[in-house]
Structures are given as structure tokens and as C-alpha cells.
Amino acid sequence: MITILVVDDSPSEMAKFRDILNKNNFAMLEANNGELGIELAKEHLPDLILMDIVMPEMNGFQATRRISRNESTAHIPIVMVSTKNQETDKVWGKRQGASDYVTKPFTEEELLTVIKKICKDKDNTPPHQRKKTSIDNTIVKKNSGDEVKKNSSDELTRQQQSQPSLHSTTQSRSSILDRIKSSFQL
């Protein structure tokens, strides 16, 4: 049975998800905020996550980013499900790690079509292309926000190193880091 984690703070939306998923023989886990969603994703490793965006404490973009960048949960497809219907929201959701985006209000058919598509895509992915799900217990867990900033800073550093001004021996490491930080508004 396919297990789907639904992360949404609205009791009425959660009831709608529950009705649709139970009626179509999906097992369902429920979280009413992003933090709890991350915990349940790590603990249960669901087959799919349906993620709202606007929630208290931690929004869906932040939770999606943390789940998709965590080695133990990165393989789990995430579908953003939100009333935010701007193209920029959809693009941003995918940049955070979402596989797809569904705009509320949705019909049962729309939701099931996306779920089936994602599950089919997941089944058809060759084993060597799937993200690894096992982790070494000796890995030190880091604050994912710091990890994201570090990765982004590393990428920016590589890009900027191709510019002659950063190869200059007269620039100190701290001035380069200051430029990187200002680029990311850190």
C-alpha cells in the first residue's frame, strides 16, 4: 500500500485529503506544520508527501527544502498543494525540491492524476538513478539552513573564481566571504 504524508494546517483541507486518500486505498500520515512533517518523513519514509505552503512555524517551502536536502528523505517525491497560484510560487517550489505543484481548490481527479503520475515515475526510475536512502549513522547532523547556505556559497565561490578579480592575491579571504555574504544577504 502506498503511504502518503499530508502536511497541512487546515483541518478542513486535511479532512478533504483524508476522504480522497482513504477512498482510494492510500495509507495516510498527517502533520499540521512543517516541523512535524519533517519528523514524520524521517521516521516513516512515506512514498509521497503532499505539502501545503502557508503554515505556522515553518512554511512548506522551508520544509520541502529540508526534506529534499536530507540524505535519508531526499528520495521522497513532494507535491506542493497550495492556494498560492502564481507561476513564481510554482517555480520556487520546484527549486526547493518539489516534484510537482497542485493549486487549491483541486478536484479529486486532479489530485489522483498527480499522485499516480509521481508514483509511476518513481516506479519507472532505474535503480542506479534513484537517490540513495541509506545513511551512515556516524554522519554528523547539521542545521539544514547552514548546509544550504554553505552549498550555495560554495557554488557562488566557484562561479566567482572564474572572474579575474577574485584570483587577485591582493584580496583577502574575508573580503571574498563578505562579497559572498552580501550576494546572499546573509
The predicted pLDDT at position 145 comes to 41
Count CB atoms within 10 A of the CB of residue 41.
25
Q: Which amino acid is at 58?
A: M
Q: What's the DSSP call for residue 144?
A: H
Ranges assigned E (strand) in the chain: 3-7, 27-31, 48-51, 78-82, 100-103
Q: How far is CA 42 from the centre of its chain?
A: 13
131 φ, ψ to 5°? -70, 140
The answer to whether the CB of 35 falls within 8 A of the CB of 56 is no
CATH architecture of 3-129: 3-Layer(aba) Sandwich (3.40)
**pTM of structure:** 0.67
The predicted pLDDT at position 148 comes to 34
| Distance separating alpha carbons of residues 33 and 59, to the nearest angstrom | 8
The predicted pLDDT at position 183 comes to 62
The predicted pLDDT at position 121 comes to 77
pLDDT in tens, the chain (186 residues): 899 999 999 999 999 999 999 999 999 999 999 999 999 999 999 999 999 999 988 999 999 999 999 999 999 999 999 999 899 999 999 999 999 999 999 999 999 999 999 988 766 554 434 443 332 222 222 233 433 333 344 444 444 444 444 333 445 566 666 666 666 655
The answer to whether the CB of 166 falls within 8 A of the CB of 176 is yes
The predicted pLDDT at position 154 comes to 45
The predicted pLDDT at position 138 comes to 22
